[in-house]
Amino acid sequence: MGFNKKMKTSIIESDIIIGMLDTGVWPESESFNDTGFGPIPKKWKGTCQKSANFTCNNKIIGARYYLTDGDNGPEDFISPRDAEGHGTHTTSTAAGGLVSQASLFGIAKGTVRGGVPSARIAVYKICWSYGCSDEGILAAFDDAIADGVDIISLSVGSSIPFDYFEDSIAIGAFHAMKKGILTSNSAGNGGPTPGSVVNVSPWSLTVAASTIDRKFVTKVKLGNGQIYEGATINTFDLKGKMYPFIYGGDAPNLTLGVASEFSRYCFPGALNATLVKGKIVFCEYFTDYEGVLEAGALGAVFQDTGNKDFQFSYPLPFSTLNVNDGRMIINYLNATENPTATIFKTSQDNNQFAPFVVSFSSRGPNPITTDILKPDLTAPGVDILAAWSEASTVTEDDTRRTRYNIISGTSMSCPHATGAAAYVKSFHPTWSPAAIRSALMTTAIPMTSNNNIEGEHAYGAGHINPLQATDPGLVYDAGEIDYVKFLCGQGYTIANIQLISGNSSSCSEETDGTVWDLNYPSFALSSTPGKSITRVFYRTVTNVGSAVSNYRAVVNAPPGLIIQVQPSVLSFEYVGQQQSFVVTVGAELGNSMISGSLIWDDGVHQVKSPIVAYASIML
């Protein structure tokens, strides 16, 4: 991924410093080559923590690590060096340089680049084999803020959402926001369960994961010539050679008393190694690869009822097929005396339905503050090729090393949004975190519920559009006092607000604002099913487009939703001028969500905001 604009020079981009809080980085990767980079920006105040096995350069200008007792394993490097691969992947996605002929063993071969390849990188290793500690996260935030980073990227999150005052990431992001630094967060991989979204603080950017226009397919050919299309990333090339093909149910491990009714699922220990060794095994239900691997199978084909909108790599030739194709294969195995098959190396095809939010991406509604829409937007996070740690293998139980790997997750979409935020920051270095987030949200490409029935609870404001985000026309700005007002209005105690803000904050009539008063680029309201509800939203926009301009309110209100905007026209006479308006939304709530929108249109800019009403039963 990369963003280009002829008016933009890499000189300005090279002053942008992205702070990556992750598992560290593999500094020798070609993605972090500093050829052509000038001196380190004068604003940089950080350090490259001394280590016997890690050296910074003019691309990776700083690196630190934060080790808490018990977090590291024997494979970890006690340095900023990445032993796992995750941090190297996310870092190169956000700001890696151009590298030609990159691939995963020939798959997806081409030129890779990060969102802002000229940006500098500061590495903060917070995650180890056994986890990412709150102490390390908070310390890394403190250091990144003091070091002078411009954007913080954090592809880390808990499996369940925590309230803001209990969430080290939310607390760290608040402190970063106070210093003008936007934190880009992954939304989590708990989808499609409703209410599974994490990292939902309104002062950070929450990023869902969506597909790209490329998909990978792994074909299986039978001895009868029939070919079936599966969904994995198979890096092994069998050269089209046909191998003996056996049904797992015909190879039970009788020594352990396993019956064919169990061995057909190919669980660990269920297969007779003598019967399956050197053969391709067909398994009726996808569990994992360990059973066929330990039994010595040459490869495996699994029947899989799960989602096939993303793929994994495996340590042996492997493909997963849908149930209908699985039945055809069972019929072939039952009707053929000496069945054979082969598994082809993965090829790529066009994904005509992209972009849509992938099944694993965590969904709203927001479980902490129901009337703030989260995630904020979505970005590419499926089957992403990026740099990898050479200390790590392609996948578990594998021995092969690779310089580039293909993986999926909101961990991958987050650095795409980080790169986009850094790109906007390079054009507008004085913009606040809220202004940058607003620009990304209001220029996002609208999506529909045709491919994601959860609608905005899956994709927020839509699919990220970095080039357009540099010229949004209007922005919804907010700062520390606005978020304190929000917290006061939500009923948080002074003690809890101080845990978040780090200040001796107090709540009063002047600092008590409702959630609907927070100057957010999206609008959400919720209530119990079967109830009529009306909410009033107060918003202020700042003109960052043409000095003299007139914006007209364009409302999309489907049946069941009434949207009124007052005034319906906003006139500006200079850049930086602010205008306020009121949006009144009425909804008849059933058990589902109603989606509308507000667009401020001046004939050049379309400042888009989703408006979502839903029944709280969705949580």
Q: Is residue 131 classed exposed, middle or buried when 0-12, 13-18 and 19+ CB atoms within 10 A define those classes?
A: middle
> In sequence order, which ranges of 264-404 are alpha helices (DSSP H)?
273-276, 290-294, 323-335
Site of tokens 């604002």: 513
Which among 71, 79, 82, 86 is annotated as catalytic?
A: 86
Q: d(Cα 545, Cα 33) in Å, to the nearest integer?
A: 37
Q: Is 560 exposed, middle or buried (0-12, 13-18, 19+ CB in 10 A)?
A: middle
Question: HEC string of 197-237?
Answer: CCCCCCCCEEEEEECCCEEEEEEEEECCCCEEEECCECCCC
Q: Which of the residues 22, 143, 147, 371 is marked catalytic?
A: 22
Taking alpha carbons only, the member of 476, 445, 521, 436 closest to residue 16 is: 436
Spatial distance between the Cα atoms of 526 and 440, rounded to a whole number of angstroms? 25
**Distance, CA of 114 to CA of 94 (rounded, Å):** 5
Among 411, 438, 526, 595, which one carries the catalytic annotation?
411
Angle subtended at Cα 220 by Cα 219 and Cα 223, rounded to the nearest 5 degrees = 145
Look at residues 410, 409, 391 and name the one whose alpha carbon lies nearest to residue 399: 391
Comparing CA positions, the residue from 286, 397, 392, 280 lying closest to residue 341 is: 280
Active site residue 411: yes
Check residue 453 and report its DSSP letter: T
The number of beta carbons lying within 10 Å of the beta carbon of residue 309 is: 22
Those residues with Cβ within 8 angstroms of residue 200's Cβ, 6 or more apart along the chain or in another chain: 161, 206, 366, 367, 368, 369, 372, 374
Amino acid 104 reads L
Specify whether 413 is catalytic: no
Tokens of 541: 């926009």
- Torsion, Cα 199 203 209 210, to 10 degrees, reads 150
The phi, psi pair for 614, rounded to 5°, reads -150, 160
The set of catalytic residues is: 22, 86, 411
